[in-house]
Structure 1
Amino acid sequence: MTAVASAAVSSRVADLVSRMTLEEKLAQITGFWEDEKGDVVAPLQGEVSVTGGLEEATAHGIGHFTRIYGTTPLDADARAATLWERQRALVEGTRLGIPAIVHEEILTGLSAWKAATYPGPLTWGAAFDPELVARMGALIGRDCRALGVHQGLAPVVDVVRDPRWGRVEECIAEDPYLVGELGTSYVEGVQSEGVHATLKHFVGYSASRSGRNFGPVSMGPRELRDIMMVPFEMAVIDGGVKSVMHAYTEIDGMPTAADPTLLEGVLRDEWGFDGVVVADYFGVAFLHLLHGIAEDLSEAAALALTAGIDVELPTGDAYLAPLAAAVRSGRVPEALVDRAVGRILAQKEQLGLLDERFNGPSPTGVELDGPEHREVARLLAERGIVLLSNDGTLPLGEDGCPSIAVIGPNADRYQAMFGCYSFANHVLDKRPGTELGLEVPTVLEALRSEMGGATYARGCEVQGDDRSGFDEAVAAAREASVAVMVMGDQAGLFGRGTSGEGCDTDSLELPGVQRELIEAVLETGTPVVLVLVTGRPYAVGWALERCAAVVQAFFPGEEGARAIAGVLSGRVNPSGRLPVSIPRSTGAQPFTYIHPRLGADSDVTNLSSVVPMTFGEGLSYTTFAYEGLEVADAATDGAISLAVTVRNTGQRQGDEVVQVYARQRRASVTRPLAQLVGFARVPLEAGASVRVEFDIPAARLAFTGRDLVRSVEPGDVELWVGTPRIRHAEGVVSLVGERVAATRESRRRTLSRVR
């Protein structure tokens, strides 16, 4: 037999591989996608896919069934029946009888008609709540498993670098540690239900030039290691993730899909990843069609397989006939095919698929949007709304119920609650008139339910330059005691929206004529409460100064409108903190709070880098105080202890997000002025206090040195609780000992305790 190059492969899998023909092997490392023509939900889908009929595609078996539920609005019971039939056909009608892995998009819930749609990942970041994210992941995993879905294509753990990029809405935050904590929690939740999560997109995808999707990446090895790789490393080492998807990125001219130093060297040799690397849709073919480093699909397949891409998705454009030709000609060793086949069969063995016969009936009546789904969606939406500014106008229900004019293009659209990978905006946007199948109130409906009657005027659309509704909106504002203006984005794909995959922007002003409408209403003198429902942060420093209050919601999901209404009325005390900084301007991009001294203001330039609000900031309807900070020196291979008392000094209950930041004063290479090293969400009644303790691994401060080895260096470290630029309490510790390379064991997660 040909050698199977994976120590994790069992004797059963090795025996299977030894008995397979080349055609059977290639079938196992490809997918089949029965997509409907015209429903473009992947880049260049219509130009690339060569999907044939089901019988032909599965004659020798198949590795994956692609998006059985997530491509068209069909009843889950009917789709499950179809899926079970197809799996039985594989078991009974192919020589080896191996079922397929079924994968789906699960970024904001299982992508299926009438399934619960949770808040987008930026809301997870704003909530700073790993336990709740894990609970959401477990619910999504449970739904997947019930319907025969084995692998979910999430979470996205790309670190936000440029808000102009359309896929910012799919990301969690601009801080790699927060992304890593929440992404790992999501992985643990999904995989606790026996479903495999898939990290996206390895690596550097979010750092594309000019914020353009598929743009090349110019990034040095330190930034790649110390920022972009951190969340992936955490999810692999701490979360035990079972699948990783490569990025479309090319870094310094090298496409990641053809880079074995990343897909084999870093992932497997350094981090110990023993799962399966899958291609982003058509990513193997793109080595020929877009990157231009392969002469044809045969060479593209050879490059990708050698680099470590085990499975081509969504179909077998390159890994079927083109790869077969390369193997038979001797250009590609069959041992490389065996390596990939061994990995996917090991995955199927872990999932129980090698013993699954699909003899029983298909599932029916699976509850996809029940009370528990709704509770988690509500809690995450409420905890992820960020109060950016408030002159005392909010909460509206504090001194009786004012007369409210609700204005704006997102005030009465349920689609505004969802991101581009929601079923509503991913699939149903191309099927106008199709029932959503979920109970999703709009902000207008939720406010009327929360606070009684309110007048309404749309004013303008999300996009376009139609100002014909301005007069009606201005008149409504004049007659009200407060104007609630609900503005922002429409998520979509490839230019069909203002946010989402392929919906990049070269302006960080609100889309269309929205700013003009806000300014027209401000001229009435009626206090304006601006509610932003967006997939990215916009340059709204002017609004923070001129509006009575500004509330930020990042595509808050099916319970999002009720959460917004609760914050406005005061029923919900806002506790979200910004997962991304509010931009200064479009021209000031890319920006991140994690920058060295040269990234700060100085006298050598006339341009300021100071943003209106930075990562980690956000207001509450109560106040908090910090006291009694204690820190202790630590060894470079040990952990830093920090403790602080947090007191609610206001008049009502609220959650405080305790954030710990660090700055190493001297190092062999430049270090950021602030980096998050720990956090804890703490609920406190009015007047109550708690002691919060953190054990922060010194390896949290590891960085790539001059020798390109990621290590912890001795020296003094400033520690504080607060935000990147506000220090509520602070101290200094010394890391003592020798420079120590960061190991898998030392890169453990920060622990926090509340006493």
Structure 2
Amino acid sequence: MAEEFDVEATLAKLTMPQKIKMLAGLGWWHTQPVPEAGVPSVRMSDGPNGVRGTRWFNGVQSSCFPASTGLGASFDIELARQVGGALADECRAKSTHVLLAPTVNTQRSPLGGRAFESFSEDPHLNGTLAAAYINGLQSKGVAATIKHFVANDQESQRWDICTGDVSERALREIYLKPFQIAIKKANPWALMTCYNRVNGVHVSENPWLINDILRKEWGFKGMIMSDWIGVYSTTESIKAGVDLEMPGPTVMRGKAVERALTGEKLLPSDIDERVSKILQLVERAKASGISFDGPEEGVDTPELRALLRRAASDAIVLLKNDKALLPLSGPLTKIAVIGPNAKQSFTSGGGSARLLETYTVSPYEGIAAAARSAGTEITYTVGATSHKFLPLLNGFMHYEGGRGALVEFWNTEPAEGWTTSLKGGTAPAWSTPTMSSECFLVDGIDNDKVNLTCWIRYSTKYTPDESGDYEFSINFTGIGNLFVNGELVVDLFHDPPHGEGFFGLATADVHAVVKGLKAGVPVDVEVRLTNAPFVASGAPFEARGSIRLGAVRVVGGEEAIESAVKLAKEADVAVVVVGLNHEWESEGFDRPDMSLPGYMDTLVSAVLHANPRTVVVNQSGSPVEMPWIDEAETAVQVRSSLFWLGNGLADVLFGKVNPSGKLALTFPKRLEDNPSYPSYGPKGEGPGKILYNEGIYVGYRGYDKKSIAPLFPFGFGLSYTTFAYSSLETSRVSPEGGFTVSFTIANTGNVDGRESAQVYISNPGASLPCAVQELKGFAKVALRAGESKKVSLELDREALSYFDERKKTWVAEKGTFNVLVGASSRDVRLTGEVKLEKMFHWSGL
């Protein structure tokens, strides 16, 4: 039964030292408790496409939903709500009160490392789906944390980058707008600030953004926390309105707050204001009935599996089907499945979105299961590689105790020279098995037995599935060596080069070739290291570091492609699965270009030439170049972070599900066409400053303004059926700006399907330059073959407004507005108009 909790009474009981203690977190995932005042420790977990729990290392398995770009492609508000509800169930199973999600940063560029975490380049779609996700999550008592407030849309120099000279109009209409919509429609209980500056001031200490706009203008009542290590001041961040510094232990608060109070740079009322917001979150956590310091468990029910499968298929966009190859049907003797993304299950982008999946279904597994049930033979070859780092050893490892590897820890060097040789030594202080050859050692270790500075041995037996020469790779935090079959193969003990792993704190990834391995014959693999240099370096957070170990059979590019061509020629149909993975799309860095890595484009072209009956499947959370697209008759886009990608993809390819996804991002023909191109990433005015010189013309707005034809437009997606639009009607606009848009959609084909109809508004008579059109409404409509339905959408003043920087207010001008209804931003089927009789303006929500 939920406990009652009196915020004001509890605040009155707290001493000032207790209040100051509460202003920063307890470790990575908890708030500080004050047991003597009845204040428990609230638990958090990373999202947004799953609930990892409190451990990076050896964590509890979790369901992995489509990345937010996948949910964005669904254009399905109800699906977003259901996903939020399912994530709440996972949170409750893991005794988690706060999910650090959703992410609603505007996808300004295809190169953004975390682009996959946000729903769309369009603020209306972004904010509307986020609101549904939040409502689903919070309906079950779990707090949502909308993030990262605001203009956090690149990873390059993310700690100190300044979004320089971003106009207030662009900030309001593009970057703040998704937050504004979600707060208005869903009231998230928490918000996370970003790392970056906006116009010279770090957001975590920006009173105009946090206090004036967020708190006062929008009336946001929730708790505000920093991003992890995202507080750079004491007095300024507290005065601005950041309630909680994360993670703990504190760096910018604690004793510094005491000193600021002594000098009256801060007043007790400032501290009370911040602590009261934290206590309000505690109150919600108590009301949820979720246990404090409870167990972490997973969820696996038939209902959840059905939702995961539906979400996976709904995130798929059919880009081309020129000769109706899809859905696959008829007598098919052999299907060749080709490509580096076919057999591996890339279920998540990199960084804080990653988690340990309960189970996965690769594209190959899903296609093979569907094909074999129809008596069709399946063949496979990789064709080309897609990895930035070598594939992990996962699934091919065992040690004396079972599957996986053994990780052992010592508090002192076990023997002199132990790290650089295979000498024996003293017994370890603590050990644990692991199923992965990638270990983020920030948690999951017995702190009572293992010191922060330690010596580590990772040992396993690796069993190759093919004979040949194998390339091994290793990076870690600290100094040490890699041994294979007792031989030193990588020396990272003596002056190791610096790399980008483990948030840029690890060594470079160093490779070595081990010759003559035999299929099915295990080899001994051992890593010995100490993290002492890492700890001594003054890392920004406490951790024992990281280990990442990979291996792959050495295959020449030409040999692999020749094998793929041979299989494609022998098959009735080829399915080539290419794309990106968490090594290319990740927190911590941006992509260098839009190209598919390695020889993937060459592979696709070669397979298409060998067999025109080829389905090209691209898996990425953001746009990629497709130089082969004109050759391809059939192409499908799937999003990263698809837990059941294989089943969802097979459902679409074999016609069990009619695809209904639409692109939530414009796919440009080339990077230079993207509106942000001149000033994204390391470009701009110079180090540390980026100019937002495209202004409000982000995404499709920029392509429309310059009449640039994209590769695939925003909102685009095909179906196995066809839809006709008719009977557009618009109501009279109310004095407050509200009106209704109604139209009829008919399924004119022979297959049941779903259509995502989109309503755009154009303001040709605006006093200021405006976008050619802007998405202001959408609806997902299910129609049986031959069925028609009337669709009605309620639009409000937001559809008719722009932000006037001169008046510091939103303005809806008197005049005639065009109403455009269609299947995408470049496929308008119906046009009409509405008239606003009298101008008005407003601020706030």
Aligned AA (2:779): A
Tell me the TM-score normalised to structure 2 length.
Answer: 0.72
Instruction: Give deviations 1:256-291, integer Å, cap 9, x for gaps.
Output: 11101111111110111111100000000xx3xxxx
| Distance in 2, Cα, partners of 1:171 & 1:490 | 16
| Distance in 1, Cα, partners of 2:739 & 2:156 | 39
Q: Is the 8 A contact 1:596 1:671 kept in 2?
A: no
Among 380, 398, 404, which residue is 2:335 paired with?
Answer: 404
Q: CA-atom RMSD, angstroms?
A: 2.5
**Is the partner of 2:724 in helix, strand or coil?**
strand
Q: CA deviation at 1:470?
A: 1.8
Farther off after superposition, 497-506 or 17-26: 17-26
Alignment of 1:122-271 (within 5 A): 122-206=69-153, 208=154, 215-218=161-164, 219-271=166-218
| Distance in 2, Cα, partners of 1:718 & 1:357 | 53
Q: Does 2:36 match 1:116?
A: no
Q: Does 2:358 match 1:443?
A: no
Among 551, 559, 568, which residue is 1:477 paired with?
Answer: 568
Q: 1:226 to 1:400 in 2, by over 3 A?
A: same
Q: Does 2:842 match 1:741?
A: yes
Q: CA deviation at 1:363?
A: 5.4
Instruction: Give deviations 1:347-386, integer Å, cap 9, x for gaps.
Output: 212332799996xx9558x551221221111111111210
Q: 1:629 to 1:357 in 2, by over 3 A?
A: closer
Match of 2:45 in 1: 104
Match of 1:560 in 2: 645
Q: CA deviation at 1:466?
A: 5.6
Among 519, 529, 553, which residue is 2:605 paired with?
Answer: 519
Aligned AA (2:361): P
| Distance in 2, Cα, partners of 1:123 & 1:450 | 23
Q: Does 2:220 match 1:273?
A: yes
Match of 1:610 in 2: 709
**Is the partner of 1:200 in helix, strand or coil?**
strand
Match of 1:672 in 2: 771
User: Any stretches of 5+ residues in structure 2 without a counterpart?
Assistant: 54-59, 389-554, 677-697
Aligned AA (1:110): V
Instruction: Give deviations 1:585-612, integer Å, cap 9, x for gaps.
Output: 12223454443798313xxxxxxx3211
Among 287, 300, 314, which residue is 1:383 paired with?
Answer: 314
Q: Is the 8 A contact 2:625 2:670 kept in 1?
A: yes
Q: Is the 8 A contact 2:328 2:654 kept in 1?
A: yes
Instruction: Give deviations 1:406-438, integer Å, cap 9, x for gaps.
Output: 111100001x23233687xx355xxxxxxx5x2
Match of 1:63 in 2: 31
Q: CA deviation at 1:328?
A: 3.0
Farther off after superposition, 213-222 or 253-262: 213-222
Farther off after superposition, 212-221 or 669-678: 212-221
Instruction: Give deviations 1:204-229, integer Å, cap 9, x for gaps.
Output: 112x4989786432311001101111
Aligned AA (1:63): T
Q: Is the 8 A contact 1:157 1:183 kept in 2?
A: yes
Aligned AA (1:313): M
Tell me the TM-score normalised to structure 1 length.
Answer: 0.80
Aligned AA (1:139): A
**Is the partner of 1:484 in helix, strand or coil?**
strand
Q: CA deviation at 1:393?
A: 4.5
| Distance in 2, Cα, partners of 1:357 & 1:572 | 40
Among 247, 251, 273, which residue is 1:314 paired with?
Answer: 247
Match of 1:19 in 2: 13
Instruction: Give deviations 1:101-125, integer Å, cap 9, x for gaps.
Output: 1111131121142221111101110
| Distance in 1, Cα, partners of 2:348 & 2:623 | 16
Alignment of 1:481-500 (within 5 A): 481-491=572-582, 497-500=583-586
Instruction: Give deviations 1:283-329, integer Å, cap 9, x for gaps.
Output: 00xx3xxxxxxxxxxxx121111111000011122122333333234
| Distance in 2, Cα, partners of 1:98 & 1:667 | 54
Q: Is the 8 A contact 1:593 1:724 kept in 2?
A: no
Match of 1:327 in 2: 261
Match of 1:417 in 2: 347
| Distance in 2, Cα, partners of 1:348 & 1:546 | 58
Instruction: Give deviations 1:29-72, integer Å, cap 9, x for gaps.
Output: 2112269xxxxxxxxxxxxxxxxxxxxxxxxxx735xxxxxxxx
| Distance in 2, Cα, partners of 1:422 & 1:309 | 21
Q: Is the 8 A contact 1:593 1:614 kept in 2?
A: no
Match of 1:28 in 2: 22
**Is the partner of 1:331 in helix, strand or coil?**
coil
Match of 1:719 in 2: 819
**Is the partner of 1:543 in helix, strand or coil?**
coil
Aligned AA (2:349): G
Q: Does 2:378 match 1:454?
A: yes
Alignment of 1:53-92 (within 5 A): 63-64=31-32
Q: 1:698 to 1:347 in 2, by over 3 A?
A: same
**Is the partner of 1:693 in helix, strand or coil?**
strand
| Distance in 1, Cα, partners of 2:159 & 2:655 | 39
Match of 1:43 in 2: none
Alignment of 1:299-378 (within 5 A): 300-315=233-248, 316-352=250-286, 362=294, 368-378=299-309
User: Any stretches of 5+ residues in structure 1 without a counterpart?
Assistant: 1-9, 36-61, 65-89, 288-299, 429-435, 492-496, 602-608, 745-755
**Is the partner of 1:283 in helix, strand or coil?**
coil
Farther off after superposition, 623-632 or 704-713: 704-713
Q: Is the 8 A contact 2:316 2:636 kept in 1?
A: yes
**Is the partner of 1:573 in helix, strand or coil?**
coil
Identity of paired residues, percent?
30
Q: Is the 8 A contact 1:600 1:610 kept in 2?
A: no
Structure 1 outlier segments of 4+, above 4 Å: 208-214, 353-358, 361-364
**Is the partner of 2:163 in helix, strand or coil?**
coil
| Distance in 1, Cα, partners of 2:311 & 2:704 | 37
| Distance in 1, Cα, partners of 2:158 & 2:203 | 17
Q: Is the 8 A contact 1:233 1:271 kept in 2?
A: yes
Higher helix share: 1
| Distance in 1, Cα, partners of 2:328 & 2:351 | 35
Q: Is the 8 A contact 1:116 1:374 kept in 2?
A: no
Match of 1:577 in 2: 662
**Is the partner of 1:523 in helix, strand or coil?**
helix
Farther off after superposition, 641-650 or 588-597: 588-597
Compare CA radii of gyration and give the structure with the larger one.
2
**Is the partner of 1:643 in helix, strand or coil?**
strand
Q: CA deviation at 1:525?
A: 4.2
Match of 2:467 in 1: none
